[in-house]
Each structure stands twice: as structure tokens, then as C-alpha cells.
Amino acid sequence: MGSNSTKAWIEAALFAGLAIALAYVAMPFGEYTIVFALLPLLFVSLRRGILLGLVSGTLTGLALFALKGEGTDVAADILTQAAPFVFVGIAGFFAKFTQRTLNNKRFPNAALNIVTASFFGTLVYFVWALISDIFLSKEAVPAGVSDFAHFLPGQALSFAATFAVSAVVLVLLAKFAPKAYIPKGSRFLSRKEKSKLLND
């Protein structure tokens, strides 16, 4: 139990490191951006659950706050760099359902869980990003236009693109490497299910 717990925390840190690296390769396409950094956070949340998903997101946010923050306005740096990543781990709510359906070879159900987890994990990131824009980039808003109406279209497009990419990648991973989602000794599987997994 102790060994599995240690491995889980190490995984959370490693996937946070991967997310930090991917935060530097976000790809802009016109008015929207695909945020690849969410992929490892969504995956570790589905593999290890909501707690370690939140831990991984928090580590990512704190590291990016330290690495990318400008330092002149700490509150602004927290809002733009740290906060959007912290709650991506809510995707881990679907870890149990994803692992059980994959273990029972019910791929359509597993895919639905993964897509739903990706939707909510990505949504919470872009809600924070929108809040950040509204509070910190008012000078970019033309006269006579509300802050919300100005920033919403770009963030909505970025959300849709990032969600689509994340969901497709994670579903394909579940299709071709389902055991990647199920760590040894997973707490989300019953003893009988674990025995079945070992005998596959």
C-alpha cells in the first residue's frame, strides 16, 4: 500500500513536469490556442483520481507561476499562470468509471467517461482563463463592448479546440492501450476486478 501510494505521488509530480514542458508549446491558430499542457493532467486524473489530479494541477500552476510570472503583480500572475491549472484535476471524478468500464471491456462507456472528463477538466481551465482576461486585459476591449462579449469568442474557440484534441488523444489511448489507465493495485477496482486484470 505504501509503495503504491508513493508511486502515485511520484506519478503526479512527473505528469506535472510534463504539463509544465507542454505549457511552452501551446499552439495558436488564428484567434484560438490549443493548450497541450492539459493532456497529461487529464490523463493522470483519470489514472489516479481527483485528489492526485488536483495535486498535479496545483504543482503545474505553482511551477508556471514561478517560471512565467512577471513578478510585478503577484495576484495577476496567480490568476493567469497558476489558477487555470489547479482545478483541471476534477476530471479525476470519472477515474473510477473509466477504469471499471475499460477493465470490463466496455469501450463505448469508457470513451463516454473520458470525453466527459475531458470536457469538464478543459472547461474549468478556460473559465479561469476567461476570468483572467476580463480582469486583467480591460485595455484591449474596444469602447462600447463588454469585457465578457469581447473575450468570450476567443476563449470559447480555444476551449473547443483543446477539448477536441484532448478527447481524441485520450480516447485513442484507451482504445489501443487501455491498461495505461489502470495502475497496478488500483483503488477503483474491486478485488475480483483486480484478479481479472492480472489474469488477462
pLDDT, tens digit, 9 for 90 and up, residues 184-193: 888 888 777 6
Residue 196 is predicted with a pLDDT of: 61
C-beta of residue 104 within 8 angstroms of C-beta of residue 59: no
What CATH code would you report for 2-23+34-199? 1.10.1760.20
C-beta of residue 91 within 8 angstroms of C-beta of residue 120: yes
- Strand ranges for the chain from DSSP E: 27-29, 32-34
pTM: 0.91
Per DSSP, the three-state class of 70 is: coil
CA atoms of 108 and 86, how far apart (whole Å) = 29
pLDDT at 13 over 90: yes
pLDDT, tens digit, 9 for 90 and up, residues 79-101: 888 899 999 999 999 999 999 99
CA atoms of 103 and 85, how far apart (whole Å) = 29
